[in-house]
Amino acid sequence: MRYRLLTIALLAFAGTAAAEIYKYRDLDGRIYFSDKPMKGDYKLLWRSKSIGEISSYPPPGVTQPGASRGWDPVKYRLNKERYSPIINEAARRVRLRPELLHAMVKAESGYDPGALSRAGARGLMQLIPETAKRYGVKDISDPYQNVDGGSRYMRDLLQMFGFDLTLALAAYNSGENNVKKYANQVPPFPETQVYVKKVLEYYTENRIATAGKEKTASLTMTN
């Protein structure tokens, strides 16, 4: 069976209305995502807060053992600039929106390549050793390998759960078996439920920023 890799294409959000994401399946089984309901087989995946309320979740603090847990905005900015090319390139390879991978990295590690969770997840995309091994990541602390493994895992989760972004994110956080255990629903784990909402909000914010840049660029172009 051939799988069509996901390229999430959401329309630009405008004004201050709440953003919504709909999943639509056509008669040939192809999956589409839109910010407006369409005729046919569609369902609402997610509704955000109003545009003015996006980013209600601050980036995570530093999680390195013995390090201060306070958020350092300078370090955050420098790390984001340094590792954005790696993230963007990984998104291109696996055909995911770079805005989505950036949202995940921001939620997972705050762009800190040395981030370490209590559960032993490491790096920009917080891979656990089992997942790293599964995706052939030899050095989990290497930013390139970490993002490559994490992005491929996210791509596979989207395929596994019918390109349902909410379920794929829940599986990335809690494991695909937990999502299946709860009948393909977001597991009732507070951490997972917060994680999904956080990434979706970051993702929406990133899409708005991209749309704004594209609009500005188009206004500066001449014939």
Question: What CATH number should be reported for the domain holding residue 122?
Answer: 1.10.530.10
Q: Is residue 173 part of a domain?
A: yes
Q: Is residue 149 part of a domain?
A: yes
Closest CA to 162 of 19, 10, 33: 33
Provide the whole-model pTM. Answer: 0.71
Closest CA to 170 of 145, 191, 147, 155: 191
Is the pLDDT confidence value at 107 over 90?
yes
**Domain tally for the chain?**
1
Distance of alpha carbon 130 from alpha carbon 204, whole angstroms: 30
Q: Is residue 11 part of a domain?
A: no
Q: Is residue 130 part of a domain?
A: yes
Query: Radius of gyration (Cα) for the chain, nearest Å?
Result: 18
CA 95 to chain centre: 13
The pLDDT value recorded for residue 205 is: 86
Q: Is residue 38 part of a domain?
A: no
Query: How does the average pLDDT of the chain come out, rounded?
Result: 78
Per-residue pLDDT tens digits for 12-28: 333 333 456 666 676 77
Q: Is residue 197 part of a domain?
A: yes
Domain range spanning residue 79? Answer: 59-220
Q: Is residue 216 part of a domain?
A: yes
Residue 85: which pLDDT band, with cuts at 50, 70 and 90? very high
Choice among 20, 89, 108, 176 that is catalytic? 108
Is the pLDDT confidence value at 104 over 80?
yes
The pLDDT value recorded for residue 129 is: 94
Structural element, H or E, at residue 34: strand 31-34
Is the pLDDT confidence value at 153 over 50?
yes
Let me know if 108 is a catalytic residue. yes
CA distances from 165 to 155, 169, 170, 213 (A): 10, 6, 9, 24
Distance of alpha carbon 179 from alpha carbon 160, whole angstroms: 11
